[in-house]
Structure 1
Amino acid sequence: MISEAVYRTQYGSVYCGDSLDLIDELENNSVSLVITSPPFALLRKKEYGNEEQSEYVEWLGKFATQIKPKLKEDGSFVVDLGGAYQRGKPIRSLYNFKVLIYFCEELGYHLAEEFYWFNPSKLPSPIEWVNKRKIRTKDSVNTVWWFSKTENPKSDVTKVLAPYSKRMEKLLEAPDKFYSAKERPSGHQISMSFGKDNGGAIPANLLQISNSESNGKYLSMCKKMKIKPHPARFPIRLPEFFIDFLTDENDLVVDIFGGSCTTGEACEKKGRKWRCFELNREYVANSIFRFLPNDYSDKDASILYNKIIRGENIGEIVSKQLNIF
């Protein structure tokens, strides 16, 4: 039996259920990118569910094993994992690095590149070691593993160029005033082409993205309806970076731990086909706020939310000017 989407948009669809079952329904060699942030192996249990550190690698490995044949040959699997401490000790867990090794050495993935997401707005934690005893610094960097099915996944860094620094802008205006073409002591050969304007700078694998959204459409609607939003959302700029970098328009992107469906919103903006899988029906219900056209009133949004909570499927979301339900 093929699962029915809880709701659909112009480009994508959201499904409520166990990802292991929903992944099976994807066609083999059909997915260009899986990008997801699974529940981390934290010591404190979260309301959305998270696995013990000792069981985490094999648990996540089940999803990675199942999704691999669904990826296109040039497809990618990007996983955001937050760090953690060992229970009762001021020393770090290695679970996120064990995931990396397990995926590559046991499941046959390739590590295309490691990324680090620096969230400058993250609160100091853990309280015991950082706030109370003051023996550790604030943990504000997540590891983001870019896995690939083959050694040459599709990617194009020119689609994610960063703005030039002020100094580089000045150099581009008059390269001769800033440097001369020659071999540097490091052995690097710097030619005059270094002063060519390529439209932006090649980005680093350290992604500085603040996770401090406070007034977006999703949070605004949750607040109006007195609904608790998903507590562990990643900022939309994170999936946007990898969607731009690793896919083209109309490619299929999947988030197997969809949460409030930030990935889906990013894909909708970028013109990518997408699917989000989420086990918790309440999170599925409030994720619809991301996609409602502007002509939906708060009352209309509430009607749809409650229909989903009751177990109904909505169908395609379109402007009410075109579809009165």
Structure 2
Amino acid sequence: MTKRTFNSGAITLVNADSLEYLKKIPDNSIDLVATDPPYFQVKQNSWDNQWDNSAEFLAWLDEMLCEFWRILKPNGSIYLFCGHALSADTEILMRSRFNVLNNIVWTKPSGPWNKARKSDLRKYFGSTERIIFAEHYGSEGYAKGNTGYAAKCAAARKEVFKPLIDYFRDAKNKLDIKAKDINQATGTKMCSHWFSDSQWALPSADNYAKLQALFKAKGEELQVNHAELADQYGELQKEYQELTASYDELKAQYQSLRRPFSVSKEVPFTDHWHFKSVQYYPGKHPCEKPAPLMEHIISSSSREGDVVLDAFGGSQSTGKACLKLGRKYIGIELEEETFDRSIAAFEELVKT
């Protein structure tokens, strides 16, 4: 049952049970799920101790994953936080519905382990959280739809790059140039990638210059008048800058169809992350995630204007990052007191 909602521009906050509300969200409508569900008996709060045992907790979590699978777009991503104790069990559940890409380890520089009596330990102290990063399966029989997401991507790629594929293939066919001539002239074995729609790739500037020289030489060998000659090998006379401009434009179209993912050397690009925990302040949520961590997830796996969902909003760190980065956001939170604080925080953010 939905108790209350808060809407401000691209931000929607919902005071409701997450599982119940997820069932109201349309299929294939969410670009990114970034969420931090209960870990089970890690916190003292009642919401983390509402199941009698881990089996009951995992059964509930699987229901959540079923809904995430349904509402996530075919090219969407999911980041699911989990505790170290049940991370293996959680990943097994995830793999039954999603293609797990990484089990990210978030190492914190400080925590309660610094005060632990080492002599009392009977196992290694858990000092990390895990973030399971996944996408939809792309193979036949698992992907959304009848043909499979990977097949759809391949078909889309072929269609998007068709103008350039035809440009190269038509020029080759007009002069009846053989694959061995192309490979010999360029010192590569890339003919099938440049002149067919199978795994098509744009030649480098250096190889394109070699291809132009080959096509010109072949054209001059033909016993035809100048007008016919120009028509036959003139197709490969485009400047490389013009070619790359067309390629970049078409590539942007293709990338918009694929699952977004973008990292660089300036941000964490391995599966081992180091982000400081949020320090205590009055009213702090016990599971609040640091802003830089959530901004990293959102900027890496979504595009501006995409819809991001957090089914366990808490302090709404995910929503605040979405507001900063220009994403649409849906945040679900069950506890009314926490929900009220979130509304107040967003009202202040919108003012500024």
TM bin, normalised by shorter chain, reads 0.5 to 0.7
Which residue of the partner structure matches residue 97 of structure 1?
Answer: 88
C-alpha distance in structure 1 between counterparts of 2:119 and 2:314, whole Å: 32
Which residue of the partner structure matches residue 22 of structure 1?
Answer: 21
- Root-mean-square deviation over aligned CA pairs: 2.6
2:115 pairs with 1:116: no
C-alpha distance in structure 2 between counterparts of 1:275 and 1:131, whole Å: 43
Q: Give, as a single letter, the amino acid of the residue that structure 2 aligns with 1:261.
A: Q
Is the alpha carbon distance of 1:275 and 1:102 closer, same or farther for their aligned partners in structure 2, counting shifts above 3 Å? same
SS in 2 for 1:113: strand
Describe how 1:165-314 pairs up with structure 2 within 5 A. 203-214=269-280, 219=281, 223=282, 228-293=283-348
Describe how 1:150-169 pairs up with structure 2 within 5 A. 150-151=137-138, 154-157=259-262, 160-163=263-266
SS in 2 for 1:65: helix
SS in 2 for 1:54: helix
Contact 1:229 1:286 in 2 (8 A): no
C-alpha distance in structure 2 between counterparts of 1:242 and 1:266, whole Å: 9
CA deviation profile, 1:247-270 (whole Å, cap 9, x unmatched): 001100000111111111111111
Contact 2:310 2:331 in 1 (8 A): yes
Is the alpha carbon distance of 1:44 and 1:36 closer, same or farther for their aligned partners in structure 2, counting shifts above 3 Å? closer
CA deviation profile, 1:46-80 (whole Å, cap 9, x unmatched): 24433432322111011110121111001112111
Which residue of the partner structure matches residue 144 of structure 1?
Answer: 131
2:61 pairs with 1:60: yes
Alignment TM-score, normalising by the size of structure 2:
0.60
Contact 2:319 2:331 in 1 (8 A): yes
C-alpha distance in structure 1 between counterparts of 2:114 and 2:126, whole Å: 6
Alignment TM-score, normalising by the size of structure 1:
0.64
CA deviation profile, 1:281-308 (whole Å, cap 9, x unmatched): 11101112432337xxxxxxxxxxxxxx
C-alpha distance in structure 1 between counterparts of 2:127 and 2:58, whole Å: 22
Sequence identity, in percent? 24
SS in 2 for 1:41: coil
Q: For structure 2, list consecutive stretches of 5 or more residues without a partner in the other structure.
A: 139-149, 151-257
Q: Give, as a single letter, the amino acid of the residue that structure 2 aligns with 1:110.
A: N
Contact 2:4 2:16 in 1 (8 A): no
Is the alpha carbon distance of 1:97 and 1:16 closer, same or farther for their aligned partners in structure 2, counting shifts above 3 Å? same
Q: Give, as a single letter, the amino acid of the residue that structure 1 aligns with 2:132.
A: W
Is the alpha carbon distance of 1:120 and 1:288 closer, same or farther for their aligned partners in structure 2, counting shifts above 3 Å? same
Which residue of the partner structure matches residue 49 of structure 1?
Answer: 48
Higher Rg: 2
Contact 2:314 2:339 in 1 (8 A): yes
Alpha-carbon offset, residue 236 of structure 1: 1.7
Alpha-carbon offset, residue 125 of structure 1: 7.7
Q: Give, as a single letter, the amino acid of the residue that structure 2 aligns with 1:288.
A: I
Count of aligned pairs between the two proteins: 232
Describe how 1:129-140 pairs up with structure 2 within 5 A. 130-131=117-118, 133-140=120-127
Q: For structure 1, list consecutive stretches of 5 or more residues without a partner in the other structure.
A: 85-94, 164-200, 295-317, 321-325
C-alpha distance in structure 2 between counterparts of 1:112 and 1:242, whole Å: 14
Contact 1:114 1:144 in 2 (8 A): yes
Question: Which structure shows the higher helix fraction?
Answer: 2
SS in 2 for 1:6: strand
